[in-house]
């Protein structure tokens, strides 16, 4: 089976982990500090705060941005549930607006219609590795005095012109889960240029302690370990190479898909560097699951990101959500992610291309 995702861990990562294990410093220590410094420098922000996951990064970012009980947070319903669940963690209310089906990202033109006096923040997601329309989103946020928290969990190294994803919002959150463009096993990072928010995130990450055993606010244990950070330091050096390979694989797939009936390759905005966390095609209505089954039988792993809009999840239905955004609904029925990870061989890419061609002829014509 050609897997839909595969972490690429080499001897260097193993050696660094071994060094940390032998050092005796295996919880948060010098390697986490070094990883934060390197990551901030890569993204181009003053601060980076390493945490235990992308989810805890989002949770702390909302708390650090002052989002809390009764506040509303505008976000996309077409994402992994962590994007909006973080608002629930802080007793705020996620408010969903539709995506633009072309890019699968939040449609900025719908944001203003959702703003109320309770709105406190906007969380755009750079879905599949393609940056959201940050200029427009930031402009709206400025006019309405809202915080912008980028969910960059899928977009390490993505850019809008010469600006890195993670450097454009008030804060940004990355995930280092093994399927992501770089990994630390589990792990996450917050980036920001706001010193106050950075301090808050650091304090909240470790039980609200400014000084040892002095707890002024309710904090958590959301720390990253030096074991994870040592993997992250090596992976960060490899990130641009991994992304380049993803981009080349995406280009190969596009060349082979563009003439096929029933399968539409992803749109890439000319202003951005898309880092293809996922290579997600749209499949002719009603045929997505058939294509998925066909490819799986051929030994090609696929993914549906995401089959259920967040507002239709039971968790949200139980909270009274009854949204029904048309572009999100259509995307949930049509999307199919194909393998694009940097571990793919040319033989595997060829197999994917040949199978897509055969599927298109058998299923759609």
Ligand X SMILES: Cc1ncc(COP(=O)(O)O)c(C=O)c1O
Residues in region 167-206 near ligand X by CB under 6 A: 175, 177, 188
Which residue in 40, 61, 111, 153 binds ligand X (CB under 6 A)? 153
Which residues, in sequence order, are bridge partners of residue 119? 72
Which residue in 154, 167, 181, 280 binds ligand X (CB under 6 A)? 154
Looking at 120, 180, 273, 351, which residue is catalytic? 180
Which residue in 28, 45, 76, 79 binds ligand X (CB under 6 A)? 79
Which residues, in sequence order, are bridge partners of residue 174? 189
Q: Which of 22-34 are b and which e, b meaning 16 or more Cβ less than 10 Å from the residue's Cβ?
A: eeeeeebbebbee
Q: Which of 130-148 are b and which e, b meaning 16 or more Cβ less than 10 Å from the residue's Cβ?
A: bbbbbeebbebbeeeebbb
Comparing CB distances to ligand X, the nearer of 53 and 280 is: 53
Residue 53 as a binder of ligand X (CB under 6 A): the answer is yes
Comparing CB distances to ligand X, the nearer of 57 and 344 is: 57
Question: C-alpha dihedral over 224, 227, 231, 237, to 10 degrees?
Answer: 70
Q: Are strands 159-160 and 163-164 parallel, antiparallel or unpaired?
A: antiparallel
Cα 365 to its chain centre, rounded Å, is: 35
Stretch touching ligand X by CB under 6 A, among 7-15, 53-61, 229-237, 334-342: 53-61
How far apart are CB 222 and ligand X at their closest, in Å? 11
Residue 130 as a binder of ligand X (CB under 6 A): the answer is no
- Residue 272: closest CA among 158, 169, 173: 158
How far apart are CB 185 and ligand X at their closest, in Å? 10
Peptide bond before residue 306 is cis, with ω within 30 degrees of 0: yes
Stretch touching ligand X by CB under 6 A, among 77-85, 111-119, 261-269, 356-364: 77-85
Residue 158 as a binder of ligand X (CB under 6 A): the answer is no
Which residues, in sequence order, are bridge partners of residue 2? 300
Residues in region 271-310 near ligand X by CB under 6 A: none
Which residue in 55, 64, 133, 184 binds ligand X (CB under 6 A)? 55
Residue 31: active-site member: no
Residue 76 as a binder of ligand X (CB under 6 A): the answer is no
Residue 85 CB neighbour total at 10 angstroms? 17
Residues 6+ apart with CB under 8 A from 301: 1, 2, 3, 4, 339
Q: What is the DSSP string of 35-79?
A: HHHHHHHHHT-SEEEEES-HHHHHHHHHHHTT--TT-EEEE-SSS
How far apart are CB 266 and ligand X at their closest, in Å? 16
DSSP 8-state secondary structure symbol assigned to residue 171: E
Comparing CB distances to ligand X, the nearer of 55 and 133 is: 55
Q: Is 293 helix (H, G, I), strand (E, B) or coil?
A: helix
Q: Is 158 helix (H, G, I), strand (E, B) or coil?
A: coil
How far apart are CB 154 and ligand X at their closest, in Å? 5
Which residue in 20, 54, 201, 283 binds ligand X (CB under 6 A)? 54
Comparing CB distances to ligand X, the nearer of 151 and 226 is: 151
Residue 60 as a binder of ligand X (CB under 6 A): the answer is no
Residues 6+ apart with CB under 8 A from 341: 3, 4, 5, 6, 8, 246, 249
Comparing CB distances to ligand X, the nearer of 82 and 197 is: 82
Window 90-129: contact mask with ligand X (x via CB under 6 A): -----------------------------------x----
Which residue in 35, 39, 78, 80 binds ligand X (CB under 6 A)? 80
Stretch touching ligand X by CB under 6 A, among 150-158, 196-204, 208-216, 331-339: 150-158
Six-digit token pair at 321? 């959500």
Stretch touching ligand X by CB under 6 A, among 33-41, 148-156, 220-228, 230-238: 148-156
Residues that bind ligand X (CB under 6 A): 53-55, 79-80, 82-83, 125, 151, 153-154, 175, 177, 188
The catalytic site residues sit at: 180
């Amino acid at each position: 089976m050609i897997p839909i995702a595969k972490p690429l861990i080499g001897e260097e990562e193993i050696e660094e982990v071994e060094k940390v294990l032998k050092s005796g410093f295996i919880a948060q220590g010098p390697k986490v500090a070094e990883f934060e410094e390197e990551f901030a420098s890569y993204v181009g922000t003053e601060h980076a705060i390493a945490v235990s996951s992308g989810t805890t990064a989002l949770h702390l970012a909302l708390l650090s941005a002052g989002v809390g009980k009764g506040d509303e947070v505008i976000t996309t319903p077409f994402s992994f549930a962590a994007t909006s669940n973080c608002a629930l963690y802080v007793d705020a209310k996620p408010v969903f607006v539709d995506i633009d089906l072309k890019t699968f990202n939040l449609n900025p033109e719908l944001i203003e219609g959702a703003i109320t006096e309770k709105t406190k923040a906007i969380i755009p997601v750079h879905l599949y590795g393609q940056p959201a329309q940050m200029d427009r989103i930031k402009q709206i946020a400025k006019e309405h005095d809202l915080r912008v928290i980028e969910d960059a969990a899928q977009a390490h190294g993505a850019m809008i012109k010469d600006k890195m994803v993670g450097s454009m919002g008030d804060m940004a959150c990355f995930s280092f889960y093994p399927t992501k463009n770089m990994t630390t096993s589990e792990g996450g990072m917050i980036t920001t240029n706001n010193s106050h928010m950075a301090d808050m995130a650091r304090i909240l990450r470790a039980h609200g302690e400014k000084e040892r055993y002095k707890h002024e606010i309710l904090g958590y244990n959301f720390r990253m370990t030096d074991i994870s950070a040592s993997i992250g330091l090596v992976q960060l050096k490899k990130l641009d190479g991994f992304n380049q390979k993803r981009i080349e694989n995406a280009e190969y797939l596009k060349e082979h898909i563009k003439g096929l009936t029933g399968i539409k390759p992803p749109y890439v905005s000319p202003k951005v560097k898309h880092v293809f966390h996922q290579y997600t095609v749209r499949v002719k209505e009603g045929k997505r699951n058939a294509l998925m089954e066909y490819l799986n039988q051929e030994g090609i792993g696929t993914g549906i990101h995401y089959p259920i809009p967040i507002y239709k999840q039971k968790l949200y239905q139980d909270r009274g959500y009854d949204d029904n955004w048309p572009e999100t609904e259509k995307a949930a029925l049509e999307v199919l992610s194909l393998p694009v990870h940097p571990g793919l061989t040319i033989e595997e890419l060829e197999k994917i291309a040949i199978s897509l061609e055969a599927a298109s002829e058998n299923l759609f014509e």
